[in-house]
Structure 1
Amino acid sequence: MGRHSLPDRPRRSALAPRPRARRRNAAIVTATVLAVAASTVAAVQGGLLSFGSSCQGGEVRVRIAAAPAIAPALVSAADHAHRHEVTSDGRCLDVRVTAREAYQVADALRSKATSGTDFEVWVPDSDLWVHQITADARAEPVTQVGNIASTPVGVAVIPSAAKSLGWPSKTYTWTELADTAMTSDRLRLGAGDPARSATGLLALTRLTDAAERAKDGDTRVAAMTRALSQRTAETDRRLLATLPRDLSDTEQGDPQRNQALFLSEQAAFAYNAEADSGDDLDLFYPEDGSPRLDYPFALIDENRLTTDQSRAALRFMTLLGEADGREILGGHGFRTAWDETPEALVTQAGGRSPQPYGETAAAPAREKDVQEALGLWTITVQSDRITTVVDASASMAKPVPGTDRSRMDVTKASLVQALATFTADDEIGLWKFSTRLDGNRDYRVLVPTEQLGDRKGDGTQRDKLSAAVRDLEPVPGGPTGLYDTTLAAYREAVASYGKGKFNALVILTDGVNEDPGSISRSRLITELRKLTDPDRPVPLIAIAVGPDADKDEVDQIAKATGGSGHQISDPAQIHSVILKAIVQAARQS
């Protein structure tokens, strides 16, 4: 029998990847299930749940690191497996569950701090975490084998604020809810830190994607993100503690406390299950679609697992897709079929008709959109000091295929777009380079790196930068003086390091070094390594623009500083690449 053929009763999880999920009756919350949930929380919080002696000598152990929201359900399922002697190839399952925040497990897997003896299975709350790990070649390998539950993300609101917003009759889009929070005092809206909360990141991605389609989208996105960053908590569990102590209070209450939260249906379900009468949250389901947490089931370092371990893990996953497993998950507030909406669950979570809780979930966020949202968040919540160095050689006058604009024209438009995402406290500067632009120097400092909100004559640093970007033009006949410029700019960035800020140097070039009198590439890399200080990190983000640029070259140069090199075919991609690179660099700092 093959290693991954399912042992004993082979059934698929109701949420395993498939064209359509199998339909089933809605789960009904029972007192028995709630009692089991209450009795297992202590075991989860304590770390491990041990079983009795009936399976001693014949059991196969599976250790699971699970997101805190689903850990109690998995403990209940593990207890069920033990009591009913569920087997894998005739051996009883000994499943032990530890509640761990997904970002903590992801950090450990990236650093390989989770050794082969810690866990066999990881159940985070979203595929987003698994994608992060599989995209990192240096991380501990994980293999996703299915999804075991889901729950949509909406906006949970205290009763008085919900009433003022017209709940449940009035429906809102994501941007309308965010605009309401920014433009009135009717809704103090909080979120889990998108860098540590999949709920927060999915909501932020929906917000940024929708807002960018509106007029002045970039400015609106930056303002919205900045406002949201003032009301975040590290995790979803801590976010719930930011609600007023008395939800039935109709007064405005403490302005430091949130009146509404980006929250999953399951989290609202669990909160309401424990709340006193009158303290239930009401739940808005945005009419333009709710993203879902989808609870992937992933094997950690599959190759090190024994056949018994991997098959036992798969057997436990199939149990979760069977009737008993689905009842346990449903009793804890999870949906177990993609195309059904359990009415009792929605009611307990605070949903009411005509809120569109039964609508098809929003399409999964594209990786590009997630990275842009996370990059925007990174530069919003932490002040930045970034110097951008732009290639002004003659080749920048070449047209971008399929357009009537030059590489420089599109580059300028992308830089203006990126500039709108920075706040007044961020320090941004601009250089340009070719060869011999300033005496014997291949570069010229157009705008020194200073705070965007600083007054500069009749305007601000932001105004000055915007004007300088618009004035950028290719130098007729100008070669590319890449190496000397890179070394000079990096030396200046290190010397002017801003403590407590995210520091970086961004270099945009569409060619290779063409200055025969410059230092060599090997010398440049050696000097960059000498300048790099782990206590004062300044990653170089090098972007090769167009087919003439050498991606391998910029990658080698950037990695000497702990940064990253990128190749793009269209300068319009500069904005998203910068955001993605900032996320990567921030994680490594």
Structure 2
Amino acid sequence: MTEPTPPQRPVGPYEQSLIESRSSRKALEHRAAAARRRKIIAAVLGVVLVVGAAAGGFVWWSGRADGAPTASGPTTDKCSSLTPVKLWVTSAMQSAAIALTQAYEASPSSPCIDYTVETRNPIESMIGLGQGQPNRPDGWIADSPRWLERVNATAKINAKPATSFAQSPLVIAMDPARAATLTAQPQWLELIGSDQPIRLSDPRSTTAGMLTLAAALPQLSKEQGRVVIPKLAKQAAASTDDLFAAYETKPEDAPAFPVSEADLIEHNRVSPQHRMVSVTPAEGTPPFEYALINVATDPVKADGVESIRTYLKTPEAARILARYGLRSTTSPVPMPTPKGSLGEVKIGPSPSPEQVAAATDVWQAATTDFSLLAVFDVSGSMKEKVGKSTRVAITQEAAGIALQALPASTKLGLWVFSTNIGPGGADYREIAPIAELDPAHKQRVAAAASHLSDSVGGGTGLYDTIWAAYQRASAAYDPDRVNAVVVLTDGRNDDDAGLTLDQLKANLRKAANPDKPIAITTIGIGPDVDPKVLSEISKMTFSDFYAAPSPGDMTTVLARALFDHDCKNGRCV
């Protein structure tokens, strides 16, 4: 994945060389992470016979269907047709979920359902579960009840909690050679406060980071926290995939990191040449808790979700879960630990919502906040139909959920743009000023985002808008924050009376101030954008272009553009 990375201060030639080296390393890590995911799929297909592929889903604005699902069941003699039921799962559950659905479909008592499994991280799920989102699942296997609470609060879906059918304890994945040097089972304070602390994934967007911080924070005094938390924030990763990728790239230099036991077992299964061992804190460890949440809107599909929910608590399902390193909550199966691991696994209680909130607040205080100006295209093409919805309706809901999920300490402003929409015939109009997301401003932003469709019409005045947004962000520049403009568009500039691309680029070069850096992140939806132009604009302002060619991509793109930040030197960029 790619993260927008605006600088925070003037960068000299030597430091620039370090940044370029780091960018090369990150690109290598991401390629390794992608390769790891491909290996996981290949390993699953080697164990589970996947027959056929269900077609369907919404067709995006380009007229293309969504990609094939990761698992699909055959039509049996008892069924003249199968009802498709889509499940979203976390990466640690993916392999097991495919095996479970295949085993259940093979059962004579199973209903006429074709279960498909797709992987989504928590933030992608949070955005994609909005009621109007295309490619929405019927069931969602979350790995912590805290995410369900957050989804209900942001996406307003009022999904009902469910009891967990499986657990996986949080463990520390460590290089075997380093683990062999430990003389005793370490405590949380040793793991996070030593000269070589573990490396966390971001606790605001990953379950492993969230559980680690919530479990370790009570072990620290306030004085210790002031030293330890900023240090952890400086080296945090965006995801556990990034952490595994860094280890596979250079095992001797990669720090240990927290993951689910199931993720570690899966890693060792698909990457035996880079095996790791588990180290368990002496105080005990919280669990990842896997529960199937029914979010179906169709009664038949909802029944299909309930049907497999019952199966997930059977002894047969427990045996399948155990093969993939997951512990059934109803029919326990002995779970071996990797050779060389240290410490008996003692599963403790899950952190409460209050503990998670407190830990997240402490983490947020140790990192740099953002000042964002979000700019949305409301030109006439945004009315184009997408299945039963429209581009603007999908964008409106997804953006509303994503923006509401930003930390309260974020500064946020909203603009819309199309030709002649603003005062004096300007191509842009402010609908919410840049301000901190206190309750009043958060309500103002939510109301503004929910009415984007009211402004649709006209052409795409892209270049004038980008230049004006850059100037506004510059005028509102906050030296204690990362300052950025996020532009979402579905087309190319068609305002012939406005700035040309060359004029825009010349303006940006002339206005660039190394003491006041401003990133311009661009998001292109559908097939009609010019990726080359948008990428050029973003890269010259130290950011990046994100493409969303299909409906499912909108969820991932917004999650990455707004939440997947690389935390270095106390700043998340």
How would you bin the TM-score normalised by the shorter chain? 0.5 to 0.7
CA contact (8 A) 1:539 1:562 kept: no
**What corresponds to 2:171 in structure 1?**
154
Paired AA for residue 123 in structure 2: Y
- Structure 1: state its 5+ residue gaps: 1-32, 248-252, 386-500, 505-531, 542-554, 564-585
Q: CA deviation at 1:329?
A: 0.9
Q: How far apart are the structure 2 equivalents of 1:282 and 1:160? A: 9
Specify which of 313, 328, 332 is matched with residue 321 of structure 1: 313
Equivalent position SS for 1:189: coil
Q: How far apart are the structure 1 equivalents of 2:52 and 2:238? A: 22
CA contact (8 A) 1:538 1:561 kept: no
Change (3 A) 1:326 1:96: same
1:52 pairs with 2:52: no
- Map 1:173-192 to 2 at 5 A: 173-180=187-194, 184=195, 187-192=196-201
Q: How far apart are the structure 1 equivalents of 2:441 and 2:267? A: 51
Change (3 A) 1:43 1:309: closer
Specify which of 92, 95, 107 is matched with residue 115 of structure 2: 95
Q: CA deviation at 1:331?
A: 0.5
Q: CA deviation at 1:283?
A: 1.1
Q: CA deviation at 1:39?
A: 6.0
CA contact (8 A) 1:37 1:72 kept: no
Equivalent position SS for 2:258: strand
CA contact (8 A) 2:90 2:121 kept: yes
Change (3 A) 1:240 1:287: same
CA contact (8 A) 2:160 2:293 kept: yes
Q: CA deviation at 1:201?
A: 0.6
Specify which of 122, 147, 150 is matched with residue 129 of structure 1: 147
Q: How far apart are the structure 2 equivalents of 1:140 and 1:324? A: 32
RMSD, aligned CA: 3.5
Q: How far apart are the structure 1 equivalents of 2:279 and 2:133? A: 38
Equivalent position SS for 2:326: coil
**What corresponds to 2:363 in structure 1?**
377
Q: CA deviation at 1:38?
A: 6.7
Q: CA deviation at 1:209?
A: 2.1
Specify which of 69, 75, 87 is matched with residue 64 of structure 1: 87
- Map 1:252-401 to 2 at 5 A: 253-254=252-253, 258-276=254-272, 279-300=274-295, 304-306=297-299, 308-337=300-329, 342-344=334-336, 346-347=337-338, 351-352=341-342, 355-357=343-345, 359=346, 361-383=347-369
Equivalent position SS for 1:160: helix
**What corresponds to 2:529 in structure 1?**
none
CA contact (8 A) 1:85 1:93 kept: no
Q: Higher mean Cα deviation, 364-373 or 47-56?
A: 47-56
CA contact (8 A) 1:48 1:97 kept: yes
Give deviations 1:14-45, integer Å, cap 9, x for gaps.
xxxxxxxxxxxxxxxxxxx9775476699999
Aligned residue pair count: 342
Equivalent position SS for 1:146: coil
Paired AA for residue 305 in structure 1: D
Identity %: 16
Q: CA deviation at 1:129?
A: 0.8
- Map 1:12-27 to 2 at 5 A: none
1:539 pairs with 2:535: no
Q: How far apart are the structure 2 equivalents of 1:134 and 1:231? A: 31
Change (3 A) 1:149 1:343: closer
Q: How far apart are the structure 2 equivalents of 1:534 and 1:238? A: 37
**What corresponds to 1:239 in structure 2?**
243
- Structure 2: state its 5+ residue gaps: 1-42, 55-66, 372-408, 413-428, 448-561, 564-573
Q: How far apart are the structure 1 equivalents of 2:247 and 2:186? A: 21
Q: CA deviation at 1:47?
A: 2.9
Change (3 A) 1:328 1:42: farther
Paired AA for residue 155 in structure 1: I
Q: Flag the structure with larger Rg.
A: 1
Change (3 A) 1:375 1:67: same
Equivalent position SS for 1:221: helix
**What corresponds to 2:125 in structure 1?**
105
**What corresponds to 2:216 in structure 1?**
207
Specify which of 210, 218, 224 is matched with residue 220 of structure 1: 224
Change (3 A) 1:325 1:375: same
TM-score (norm 1): 0.52
- Map 1:405-484 to 2 at 5 A: none
Q: How far apart are the structure 1 equivalents of 2:366 and 2:248? A: 26
Q: CA deviation at 1:197?
A: 0.7
Q: How far apart are the structure 2 equivalents of 1:175 and 1:271? A: 26
Equivalent position SS for 2:166: coil
Equivalent position SS for 1:164: coil
Q: CA deviation at 1:372?
A: 1.6
CA contact (8 A) 1:34 1:331 kept: no
- Map 1:552-567 to 2 at 5 A: 559-560=443-444
Q: How far apart are the structure 2 equivalents of 1:338 and 1:119? A: 26
Q: Which has the higher contact order (CA 8 A, sep 6+)?
A: 2
CA contact (8 A) 2:176 2:277 kept: yes
Q: CA deviation at 1:298?
A: 0.3
Give deviations 1:344-390, integer Å, cap 9, x for gaps.
2x236x635xx121x2x2222121110121122233232479xxxxx
Equivalent position SS for 2:92: coil
CA contact (8 A) 1:133 1:139 kept: yes
CA contact (8 A) 2:89 2:118 kept: yes
CA contact (8 A) 1:37 1:332 kept: no
Q: CA deviation at 1:200?
A: 0.8
- Map 1:509-524 to 2 at 5 A: none
Q: How far apart are the structure 2 equivalents of 1:369 and 1:203? A: 11
**What corresponds to 1:229 in structure 2?**
233
Q: CA deviation at 1:281?
A: 1.2
Q: How far apart are the structure 2 equivalents of 1:311 and 1:533? A: 46
Q: How far apart are the structure 2 equivalents of 1:236 and 1:42? A: 31
Equivalent position SS for 1:287: coil
CA contact (8 A) 1:66 1:102 kept: no
Change (3 A) 1:556 1:265: closer
CA contact (8 A) 1:382 1:502 kept: no
Q: CA deviation at 1:562?
A: 6.8
- Map 1:491-502 to 2 at 5 A: 502=410
Give deviations 1:412-442, integer Å, cap 9, x for gaps.
xxxxxxxxxxxxxxxxxxxxxxxxxxxxxxx
Q: CA deviation at 1:343?
A: 3.9
CA contact (8 A) 1:232 1:239 kept: no
CA contact (8 A) 2:167 2:289 kept: yes
Q: CA deviation at 1:340?
A: 5.1
Q: How far apart are the structure 2 equivalents of 1:41 and 1:125? A: 27
